[in-house]
C-alpha cells in the first residue's frame, strides 16, 4: 500500500485498478486478509499520500458495478466488526474530505452501495458507532 501511495496518479490508477480486479477473484479468506492489511497499513501512510490513494480507490470503485461495490463494503464491514481497533487510528476527517472531493455522481454511487450494505447488515450499529458523526453525515447515514 505504501508503494501505491507513493506513485504518481498516472501509474497508481492502473495498478490499483488491477489490484481491485484481483481482489474480486480471491478466496473469501484472502479478501479478509487483504482488507486487514489495508486497514492496518493506512494509519502508517503520510496523510496527504493516503488521501490521494483513497481518492483513486474511491474513483475506481465508483466505476465498478453495484455488486462489486457491495462485496467490497461487505468485506470491510465484516473485518471492522471482527476487530474494531482496525479503524481507531484512521483520520476520518481527512478521509471524509477526500470522499466529499469526488464528483456528485461518484459520491452517490458509493453512498448508495454503502447504505444498501449497511441496511442489510445485521450488526450495522456496531460499525456505525465506530465512525464519527461528520463522516456518517457525509454518506447520508446521520
pTM comes to: 0.92
CB contact at 8 A, 96 and 54 = no
According to the model, what pLDDT value does residue 3 have?
82
Quick count: other Cβ atoms within 10 Å of Cβ 98? 19
Please report, for the chain, the start and end positions of each structural domain, with discontinuous segments joined by +: 2-138
Per-residue pLDDT of the chain (142 residues; tens, 9 = 90+): 778 888 888 999 999 999 999 999 999 999 999 999 999 999 999 999 999 999 999 999 999 999 999 999 999 999 999 998 889 999 999 999 999 999 999 999 999 999 999 999 888 999 999 999 999 999 999 8
Cell 493516503 locates to 50
Residue among 69, 84, 66 at smallest CA distance from 125? 84
According to the model, what pLDDT value does residue 71 have?
97
According to the model, what pLDDT value does residue 5 have?
86
According to the model, what pLDDT value does residue 106 have?
98
According to the model, what pLDDT value does residue 133 have?
95
CB contact at 8 A, 90 and 46 = no
Amino acid at each position: 500500500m505504501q508503494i501505491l501511495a507513493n506513485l504518481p496518479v498516472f501509474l497508481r490508477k492502473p495498478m490499483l485498478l488491477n489490484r481491485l480486479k484481483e481482489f474480486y477473484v480471491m478466496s473469501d479468506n484472502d479478501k479478509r486478509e487483504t482488507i486487514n492489511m489495508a486497514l492496518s497499513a493506512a494509519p502508517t501512510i503520510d496523510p496527504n499520500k493516503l488521501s490521494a490513494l483513497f481518492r483513486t480507490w474511491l474513483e475506481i470503485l465508483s466505476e465498478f458495478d453495484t455488486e462489486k461495490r457491495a462485496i467490497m463494503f461487505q468485506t470491510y464491514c465484516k473485518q471492522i466488526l471482527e476487530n474494531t481497533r482496525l479503524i481507531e487510528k484512521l483520520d476520518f476527517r481527512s478521509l471524509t474530505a477526500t470522499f466529499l472531493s469526488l464528483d456528485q455522481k461518484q459520491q452517490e454511487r458509493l453512498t448508495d452501495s454503502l447504505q444498501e450494505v449497511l441496511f442489510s447488515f445485521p450488526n450495522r450499529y456496531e460499525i456505525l458507532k465506530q465512525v464519527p458523526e461528520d463522516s456518517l453525515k457525509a454518506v447520508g447515514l446521520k
